[in-house]
Amino acid sequence: MAAVTGRPIDVHTWSTPNGWKIPIMLEECGLPYRVVPVNIGKGEQMAPDFLRLSPNNKIPAIVDPDGPGGEPITVFESGAILQYLGRKTGLFYPADERARVAVDEWLFWQVGGFGPMLGQAHHFRIYAQEKIPYAIERFTAEANRLYGVLDRRLAGRDYLAGDYSIADMATLTWAKFHEKQGIDVGALPNLKAWLGRVLARPAVQRGLAAI
């Protein structure tokens, strides 16, 4: 299916691993969009106007003026947004049920585990004012385990779930910060090759530069 065109989608986001997922998908789909910056360093995600879009006060959120039935729709949570855009365009989210289940498995693996655990590794390794050895060791070890899962999954595969999909987009934006998480991708050849493959995509590069 060809990419859907229409009025720009407003993307309320910031330059974080979760925040980059949506511009990447929109660039891949060729959909028009506008970035509405939400500076989380200044606490703008707590503003009442943003709360109306994202009840959890987390970026990203989108407002699509051409939603179902031609009416506007607001979507929050990065995984839900990626699925919505995949259904809207018919791109990077297969219609075949078996293929879709495979994409969903790895998308939910990312939003439920890979992202949150790596976020904790970021926090305790880099940002926490007090360096807590137990927390650093715990979340670095879990990051290593999850990267091992990812490397094994990518053995003999170009992408996580068949063709390139929203599962790859969601995982990439966290995996590109592997050094901050204490991960040496030189020891993970399948992952390293996948990172190079996905980061070389022009739409990915444009999406990362959009914020």
State the chain's maximal CA–CA distance in angstroms.
53
- Tell me the pLDDT of the chain (211 aa) as tens digits: 444 567 999 999 999 999 999 999 999 999 999 999 999 999 999 999 999 999 999 999 999 999 999 999 999 999 999 999 999 999 999 999 999 999 999 999 999 999 999 999 999 999 999 999 999 999 999 999 999 999 999 999 999 999 999 999 999 999 999 998 999 999 999 999 999 999 999 999 999 999 9
Q: For residue 200, which of 172, 171, 161 has the smallest C-alpha distance?
A: 172
What is the β-pairing status of strands 9-13 and 33-37?
parallel
Q: Which residues pair with 35 in a beta bridge?
A: 11
Q: For residue 180, which of 134, 109, 128, 130 has the smallest C-alpha distance?
A: 128
- Match 């493959």 to its residue by tokens: 197
CB 77 within 8 A of CB 67: no
Q: What is the DSSP letter of 129?
A: S
CA 68 – CA 28 distance, rounded (Å): 21
